[in-house]
Amino acid sequence: MREIKADIRLGDCVEVLRSFADNTFDLIVTSPPYADSRSKTYGGIKPDDYVAWFLPRSSEFLRVLKPTGTFILNIKEKAANGERHTYVLDLILSLRKQGWLWTEEFIWHKKNCYPGKWPNRFRDAWERCLQFNKSKKFKMLQDAVRVPMGEWAQTRLKSLGKNDVIRFNSQAGSGFGKNIANWLNRDLAYPTNVIHLATETGNKNHSATFPKSLPEWFIKLFTQEDDWVLDPFLGSGTTCEVAQEMGRNSVGIDIMAEYYHMSKSKIKEVDRFLLEESASYGKHNRKRNSHVHRKKH
C-alpha cells in the first residue's frame, strides 16, 4: 500500500534542506517572511538585507528542485516613506543571477480584502506569486486549472463579428493572432495569470496564513499525484495539508517550534487507498477532503 508522506521539520530551511538529495521536489510553493513584517513573532528582516538573507536559502531550493520543477514565491513589497521598496525587484534580478529563470508572474487578487485608503494610494488588493524554473521545459498541466467559460461565453461569443471567425492580428498591431470562434461550444477555458481568491483561511493561530485555494491552484497546475511538494516557510502547515488532500507527498519546514507543532498536529501520513475512497465519496457528497482517514502513529 502506498502512503502519502507529509514530512514536517523544525529548523532554518537552509540547514534542514542540506539533508535532502539534489532534484527531489516537483514544486516549491511558499510565502516567506516579508521584509520588516511580523518582527515580534518571526521574520523582521530589514528590506535592505532581504536579498542577502534570501539567496543562501534559494540556492538550496535550486539544488533540491527537479529540472522539470517549479518554484512559486508569494511575496509583496510594502510601501515605506511614501514609496514602494524595491527589494522584491532586486530579489528577482538576484535570483536570475543565481541561475533561476523568471518564467512568469501571477497576480493573486484578494477578492475580499478589507477597505482602506491612504493619502497617496489605495488599498492593497493583490500579491505577487513569482514563478521561477530551472529550465524552460518544466511540467505544467494547464488543463487541470481550466475554468468555466461563464458570462464571457454568453455575451461575447453570441455576438461574433466577421473578424472573430477568421484568424487575424490584433488591431493594436501586437501581431498576436486570435480566433475567438475556436472557443465556441466549449465549457471550459484556460485561466489568465490573475488568480482571484478570497483571503480567508479559517486559521486563527498564525498571523500570515494563505488560503488553501492558493497552494491548491499551483499544486494542480505543476504536479501530479505522488509528486513531491516543498514549503520551506511552512507556517501553519497549509501547503502540506493541501498537498496531502490532493495525494501529493510533501515536506514542510518552519523555524518556530510553535508552528512546527501546529502543523505536526494536523498533518499525519495517510494511506493512499483511504484517500481515494474519501475523494470518491466527496465527488458524490461535495465534501471532498472532509474526512481523509489519517494513519494512526
Sites of contact with ligand SAM (CB under 6 A) = 12-13, 31-33, 42-43, 206, 208-210, 232-233, 235-236, 238, 253-256, 259
Alpha-carbon span 161 to 88, nearest angstrom: 43
- The candidate with the shortest Cα–Cα distance to 68, out of 22, 38, 27, 119, is 27
Alpha-carbon span 69 to 134, nearest angstrom: 7
CB 267 to ligand SAM: min, Å: 12
Q: Which residue is nearest to ligand SAM (CB)?
A: 235
Alpha-carbon span 98 to 132, nearest angstrom: 11
Helices and strands in the chain, H and E counts: 9, 18
Alpha-carbon span 130 to 71, nearest angstrom: 8
| 64 or 164: CB nearest ligand SAM | 64
CB 238 to ligand SAM: min, Å: 3
| 33 or 164: CB nearest ligand SAM | 33
> Which residue shows C-alpha cell 471532498?
288
| 216 or 227: CB nearest ligand SAM | 216
SS3 30: strand
- The candidate with the shortest Cα–Cα distance to 9, out of 69, 247, 212, 17, is 17
| 98 or 201: CB nearest ligand SAM | 201
| 10 or 149: CB nearest ligand SAM | 10
CB 8 to ligand SAM: min, Å: 12
Burial of 63 (0-12, 13-18, 19+ CB in 10 A): middle
Hey, what's the torsion of the CAs at 168, 171, 173, 179, to 10 degrees? -30
| 108 or 183: CB nearest ligand SAM | 108
User: Are the C-beta atoms of 275 and 261 separated by less than 8 Å?
Assistant: no
CB 172 to ligand SAM: min, Å: 39
CB 15 to ligand SAM: min, Å: 8
CB 182 to ligand SAM: min, Å: 38
CB 111 to ligand SAM: min, Å: 17
Alpha-carbon span 278 to 115, nearest angstrom: 39
| 85 or 266: CB nearest ligand SAM | 266
C-alpha cell at 5: 508522506
Q: In one letter, which amino acid is 148?
A: P
